[in-house]
Structure 1
Amino acid sequence: MSHLRKLRSATLAVVLLAACDGDPTSGEREPRFSSVSAGPASTCALTREGEAYCWGNNSIGQIGLGYADTVPVEVPRKVLSDRRFRSIHAGYTTCAVDLEGALHCWGGVTGGVVRGPTPMFPETRFAAVAPHFSGVTCGVTSQGGTVCWGYTPSSPTPLSTAPGTEAFREVSVGSYIFGEGGSRPTVMLSHGCAVTHTAQGHCWGNNSRGQLGTGDTAQTAAAPVRVAGNLAFRTIQTGAVNTCGLDVAGSLYCWGEGVRSPQPRAAGLRFESMDVGSAHACAVTADGQAYCWGNNANGELGTSKTASSAAPEAVVGSTRFRSVSAASNQYHYRIGSLGTGHTCAVGQDERIYCWGDNSRGQLGRPGRESSGAPLRTAEPVN
């Protein structure tokens, strides 16, 4: 049976079972989750109490269990740490900020493999971090500064900004881009974006497809440049050659992929949260309905179909969500996403639901069968 037929069969089964809630197991002590982060073939989530659970690809220790293995972790497992965290970002490098603002990372860290949570830059306290599987990480410090570091960091380097640029409160780092230069392949970082405390959007880095949203044709920007349009942003999230943001009213704007300034999307809808992966994106409305758009080769849009969509489409099923995370992967300038795609979300019932590719166990359910509709993860294991 082909991959496409298997995906359609699995999706049909999920839709038929949606009315039964799709619970894999239930128990009084099952954790309740507050956030989720979908990385390249792995996923991590935080409970209400700040405990970290991860699952999926563990080839370089990115699940945080104290070992690396080519055999995926198919169900949520508690990360080996007694720390409580307030934010987490899954990736080949997985990083989390604890309740005191200390940064802990594991997986592909500092040019090697770190199989369990390890303190990073103990002299610095972070308000937020945005690592990416490419090895580049940026963070906002508790003092309001923005710093970045690479795959072999010695210390975080302050992000260069123009005089008078306000401090940032959040930052997002885009995907690695693989391209072709002459007769041999090239690899380049994409871009980053950040939002100031007064809701200004700024972006920097690669602008080959207009992903900085500055309205001009400059190919790169070494320092953050103001996003065009004088929009007041609640959040900006970056993909590979695409970027989207929510304004303070919840309206969705996107740019990149040849569009060089923010353009409204999903007119008439207002969103509470949003995330952008390398080739797809998702957002959640105030009433908990999730919408996704972009590449759908693995069912990552959650529409029970395999056709991609340029416009946001409603995720199928009756489950309502609080937040959503779209996975990032390697991206080829001409081909598109080079990896598998999946999406995970926190339900209003504080459980985790995932859909899309499950070849590395990233949906958190045994069997590694992909799904074009939301499935609850298996009960976590401590």
Structure 2
Amino acid sequence: MFSARLFRYARPTCPVRRRLALAGVVVALAVALSCDETSGPQELPGGSVSVSPDRWGMVTGGNVPLTGTVLGPDSRIPVPVATDARFESIGAFAHGYTCGVGTDGLAYCWGHNDFGMLGRGSINNDEYDVAPAEGSITFTMLDGMDFSTCGASTDGSAYCWGWGPDYLGNGMIDEPVPVPTRVNHDAGFATVDVGSHHKCGLGLDGVAYCWGEWAGDGTWETRLTPVRVAGQR
């Protein structure tokens, strides 16, 4: 069994994400290590290996709660998260929240919830307990940044939730969505990567798609739903 390892005080340099070149187009894919401004690097074991979600770092000043129960004291050593869930992968995202894919495939999130990025149906209610997002959707991966979270589901769909303001891929503008909502795209996605102003994904058809600002389609238009990135063969 592996444990997710998060660091804060050593402040090591965060490794870059793996990227895949698709006919000259670079699309961010799954991460080997993930970091945010509060938690530093973290191992992301894959396959069927379960992860014991041990965490440590700062919890004050707007950072994510360590224990999954209440906002507790800072810790320089690993402290267990209060949950019976076991995880395939886990990530600490910017803006002070954490999500992971459980061995049951569900999306578990906890921490800050200003715009519903935990996926539990509420907005502005921080949640310190570890609980699954609404909808009982099973995922293969999750990614998040700032106020939104996205994931690729086991049926090949992509789901996003939180606030973009127009980057959730569902055609809506400036509307927080506190539950996982399917991205409007028929081809489906193998993986999704979340940025501050846009999101990209690798389609099941092997094509890179993006939505939001700077979607890579050769225009300056903000795209509310996925568009094919230009330059692919």
TM-score (norm 1): 0.43
- Partner of residue 221, structure 1: 127
Q: Which has the higher helix share?
A: 1
Contact 1:195-1:234 at 8 Å conserved across structures = yes
Change (3 A) 1:146 1:140: farther
- Partner of residue 276, structure 1: 194
Q: Which amino acid aligns with 2:223?
A: S
Aligned ranges 1:319-330 → 2 under 5 Å: 319=233
Alpha-carbon distance in structure 2 between the residues aligned to 1:246 and 1:220: 24
Contact 1:139-1:148 at 8 Å conserved across structures = no
The gaps in structure 2 that reach 5 residues or longer are 16-31, 59-73, 164-175
- Partner of residue 147, structure 1: 54
Contact 1:206-1:219 at 8 Å conserved across structures = yes
Alpha-carbon distance in structure 2 between the residues aligned to 1:228 and 1:317: 37
Contact 1:251-1:264 at 8 Å conserved across structures = yes
Residue of structure 1 aligned with 2:106, choices 191, 194, 200 = 200
- Partner of residue 378, structure 1: none
Q: Which amino acid aligns with 2:221?
A: A
Q: Which amino acid aligns with 2:104?
A: T
The gaps in structure 1 that reach 5 residues or longer are 1-100, 117-127, 177-188, 320-382
Structure 2 counterpart SS, 1:156? strand
Residue of structure 1 aligned with 2:204, choices 272, 286, 311 = 286
Residue of structure 1 aligned with 2:151, choices 242, 245, 254 = 245
Once the two structures are TM-superposed, the CA of residue 155 in structure 1 deviates from its matched residue by 2.2
- Partner of residue 110, structure 1: 9
Q: Which amino acid aligns with 1:290?
A: A
TM-score (norm 2): 0.68
Contact 1:239-1:279 at 8 Å conserved across structures = no
Once the two structures are TM-superposed, the CA of residue 202 in structure 1 deviates from its matched residue by 0.8
- Partner of residue 158, structure 1: 80
1:133 corresponds to 2:52: no
Contact 1:137-1:150 at 8 Å conserved across structures = no
Q: Which has the higher contact order (CA 8 A, sep 6+)?
A: 1
Q: Which amino acid aligns with 1:318?
A: Q
Count of aligned pairs: 186
- Partner of residue 213, structure 2: 295
Structure 2 counterpart SS, 1:230? coil
Change (3 A) 1:129 1:113: closer
Runs of 4+ in 1 over 6 A off after TM superposition: 101-105, 113-116
Provide the aligned C-alpha RMSD in A.
Answer: 3.2
- Partner of residue 171, structure 1: 90
Structure 1 counterpart SS, 2:77? coil
Aligned ranges 1:1-150 → 2 under 5 Å: 110-111=9-10, 129-139=33-43, 144-150=51-57
Q: Identity rate of aligned residues, in percent? A: 26
Change (3 A) 1:221 1:138: farther
